[in-house]
Amino acid sequence: MFVIDVKLLRTQPDVVRDALARRGKPDILGQLDDAIRLDGKLREFTAERDGIRAAVNDLSQKVAAARRSGDSATAEALMAESRAHGEREKAIDAEATGIEAALREILLRIPNLPHPHVVAGATDADNPVVSGPHGLPEAFAAHRRVPHWEIGAALGILDSERATKISGAMFTMQRGAGATLARALCQFALDRNADLYEEVRPPSLVTTATLTATGQLPKFADDAFAIERDSLWCIPTAEVPLTFIHADEILGETELPKRYMAFSPCFRREAGSAGRDTRGMLRSHEFDKVEILAVATPEQAPDILDEMHSRVVATIADLGLPHRVVEICTGDLGQSHHRSYDVEVYAPGCDLWLEVSSISWFSDYQARRASIRFRREGRKGTDIAHTLNASALAVPRVWAAILENHRQEDGSVAVPEPLRRYMRGIDVLRAPAHNA
């Protein structure tokens, strides 16, 4: 399970180095140097072991010949030499196993190579806006400058206090029409993509191998919720189980692309984010999301990236939310990402642009870890597939942006028209006569 092409690492190390250098993190290049050194040592041991095995085979033939001729002394001497070779082979195997494990650990932590067209930059401050803003008014009335946690509390649809009582900090709970709105958002996103994407309801608990395949492990273990007794992990996104559907499989070229979508809960520790954007629905340990994912050939991948981008943007636009698209620069690119875009919505009450979807192309990075291959028509051998995914709709921040953007002067919130069919007749969110 190697995450970058070892053949490329061996034959074109400078190409790999130059690509990873664009990420602007010197420690990655140090890891790359270690990987190249260990791979070279491993190949030396492999060559020596192959030479020993050839020598042992040759000695076996000589021992047999000596015995046939009745030369017992020569046969015994040759057998002693063969045993010495065998001991050396055992020692080499032990060293090679250790080196191979160390190499694998390093390679699992080396990130994907950025696409050549990814914009250079160091942090998220360098991510350029490539589309928009769209639907952003010149000014917002005062009634739309109220943060969603105040709106939700006033309407009795967001109960953060009781959520904390139940589960602790950084959990949220929607109630009444607020819970209905959250469910409506998910159903809306599923219906929007049902024309091309097969709906899947994957498990919410996965194995270590499954989480490793998408690049979550080992690097981001501290961000995940583990169930140690059963050696299982809570999924941070449905991308994880959807990617692993075809692990260790060889697909036919004509089967691709495979497209899947899934609604699931998502669990994230959000390590290191305490005190940052933690009010209301902006950042929580558990939330609901609809994910879309594709397994494709390398040639199909760029068009599918555009397809996902168009679908996500259209969904957000139909909800009447001000939005823009930013491209993720080299320094802000995720561990597994080859190229990535974020869709952001503006929340006037928070006065923030909120990321609501990440649309990403992983090239062969995840598929190589998961061993997802395909066989081209009329050709021998197999190739590594490419994977892509996008958040079709993540509930918390879209829910928050709806409350802030669609709040009316009387304090009520108009439900976006596309969601009303899922709202049991509720067109406007109003405060109940009596809150629990």
Domain map (residue ranges) of the chain: 6-109, 124-429
pLDDT at residue number 63: 87
Question: Residue 384: pLDDT above 60?
Answer: yes
Confidence of residue 3 (pLDDT cuts 50, 70, 90): low
**Percent of the chain at pLDDT above 70?**
96
pLDDT at residue number 143: 97
Compute φ and ψ for 327, nearest 5 degrees: -95, 140
Q: What value does the mean pLDDT take over residues 309-337?
A: 97
What is d(CA 416, CA 192) in angstroms, rounded to the nearest whole number?
Answer: 15
Q: 7 or 297: whose pLDDT is higher?
A: 297
- For 342-354, write each residue's pLDDT tens digit: 999 999 999 999 9
pLDDT at residue number 349: 97
Does 1.10.287.40 match the CATH number of domain 6-109? yes
pLDDT at residue number 270: 67
pLDDT at residue number 220: 80
Report the candidate in 167, 176, 245 with the shortest Cα–Cα distance to residue 206: 245
Beta carbons of 292 and 189 less than 8 angstroms apart:
no
* Dmax (CA) of the chain: 109
Q: What value does the mean pLDDT take over residues 327-335?
A: 96
pLDDT at residue number 271: 46
Confidence of residue 249 (pLDDT cuts 50, 70, 90): very high
pLDDT at residue number 277: 60
Question: Residue 436: pLDDT above 50?
Answer: no
Question: Residue 278: pLDDT above 90?
Answer: no
- For 203-214, write each residue's pLDDT tens digit: 999 999 999 988
pLDDT at residue number 386: 98
CATH architecture of 124-429: 2-Layer Sandwich (3.30)
pLDDT at residue number 433: 72
Confidence of residue 61 (pLDDT cuts 50, 70, 90): very high
- For 230-244, write each residue's pLDDT tens digit: 999 999 999 999 999
Question: Residue 98: pLDDT above 50?
Answer: yes
Contacting residues for 298 by C-beta, under 8 A, at least 6 apart: 363, 364, 383, 386
